[in-house]
Structure 1
């Protein structure tokens, strides 16, 4: 059967390079949901066979990668083209030239809804993943916060996981979280809160972009005190205070006993000193002194009866 050149060209594009291994392949999801105004990442991977040369099989890298939509063979214009810097800047290529063809769409709009295809070209041939991935853009009005707990009240020290949900699957969407209107550092479809304290109490919301245009209704979290935990927390300082008081009383008792012993010893020493002084005074009083005074006549006449020896004083 004869085949015209145009038909042959189409078949080559569909099947890949002529005579090539069936390993020419592009893999992406069948469809992908994006919320208008959000940023989404479309996962993608590609493979191609080794080129057989005299020296053996050699793996060739892609030299050009292209993302297009509403264009079956990725001819101009394209949303991303590695060889064309004028492509739409909202579409960013996160992949490489070796097998990763992930595409990021920033701040999606309604017109971004389309079927996207990826094409890569080596120095030998090129290949387009004709199946493509269908991107659906929704308005995101049904953005909600769901919780891992059925009740809004959680005990202190517990944990909870909040999930931002919508009509789309959020595993590839950028999600911003807020508590009491203030942005949190955590990003992603799930917010994990553990070791809860009273500071975690408040209204939580999630948004699909930093402008808060697609924001969920608030979800209220109330963290209450765990009575058992509170009792243990209060008991520890009370026991510490009691032990401190007991130690102070023991220290005061020991100090008082030492002071009493020192005072008693001092009194004994003073009493001994007094006894020694009294004994010294008693010994000195036993000494006797005698004084004799003689009265004589001034004349040298012979003594007579009138001359009497007068003992004026005798002192013992």
Structure 2
């Protein structure tokens, strides 16, 4: 049976590349919803037979083939500046697409198409597509893995940003007491809690705070066992300090007494030396002044005679 070229082209597009090679494939989720004003990421991957090189990739809304002049949101051969649709993939296996600050008009079924080198039939579109729903009335909430807001010090808690819309692949920002946290994503894991972790936690679906949850308050309390242990340690520390202080006083008093005794001994030694010096001086003096003279002789007759003559 003969078939005109136009009919053959349509069948090839519907069936994929010539021969329906299973190596041609595009994988993405069936659908998910996005809160208006938030940023969403459509995960996507693709494969093709070995030996081919991808030359063009295209994302388009609401079209089964993304072929020809079909309106698209991304075309690697004609990249538009300042587009809210950011291609995060490559030309090897990754075809992920990011939608920034979604609007109502972004609700659509998106499909990915890639074209390779070789003949004109070496191209493929993931016809299943992924349905993106955009909603705007959901209340964003913070849910906790614990039953109440009180957690013991050293414990852990997981906070989840929830809404009627799934947050799969959504950009979620977290805040504590109004200050932005470095963690992002639908879940916030807090472990080894301290009093510094206490406060009001909120989540937002965009950095403008247009879709922000009500605050969820976390209270961190001391563990009684750890608190009792700290009290015991404190008491022991105080007792040790008192013992060290008393020992220091006793040691200082003993040193003072030893110093006084040493001073007394030194003074007594000096006194003994001074007494010894004085006694030596007295002995020398007596020897000099009271020693009898061996050259003295008795008066002779001549002296007596002269004396008698003078008396007359």
TM-score by length of 1: 0.83
Unaligned runs of 5+ in 1: 51-58, 293-298, 308-316
Q: What is the alpha-carbon distance in structure 2 between the residues aligned to residue 192 and residue 5 of structure 1?
A: 59
Cα RMSD of the aligned pairs, angstroms, is 3.1
Unaligned runs of 5+ in 2: 294-302
Cα displacement (A) at 1:236: 3.5
Contact kept? 1:177, 1:206, Cα under 8 Å = yes
Contact kept? 1:79, 1:88, Cα under 8 Å = no
Cα displacement (A) at 1:180: 2.2
The corresponding residue for 2:75 is 81
The within-5 A match list for 1:283-294 is 284=282, 287=287, 289=290
The corresponding residue for 2:307 is 303
Number of paired residues?
298
Give CA deviations for 1:114-171 in whole Å, capped at 9, x if unaligned.
1111100011221111111111112251321111111111122222110111223323
1:161 and 2:158 equivalent? yes
The within-5 A match list for 1:71-220 is 71-75=63-67, 76-86=70-80, 89-124=83-118, 125-220=122-217
Cα displacement (A) at 1:243: 2.2
Structure 1 residues 62-71 or 80-89, which shifts more?
80-89
The corresponding residue for 1:313 is none
Higher helix share: 2
Question: Cα 1:282–1:73, aligned 2, differ >3 Å: closer, same or farther?
Answer: closer
Question: Cα 1:281–1:46, aligned 2, differ >3 Å: closer, same or farther?
Answer: closer
Give CA deviations for 1:90-111 in whole Å, capped at 9, x if unaligned.
1111100011111111111112
Give CA deviations for 1:226-275 in whole Å, capped at 9, x if unaligned.
33333433444543343233223323323332332333233234334434
Cα displacement (A) at 1:186: 1.6
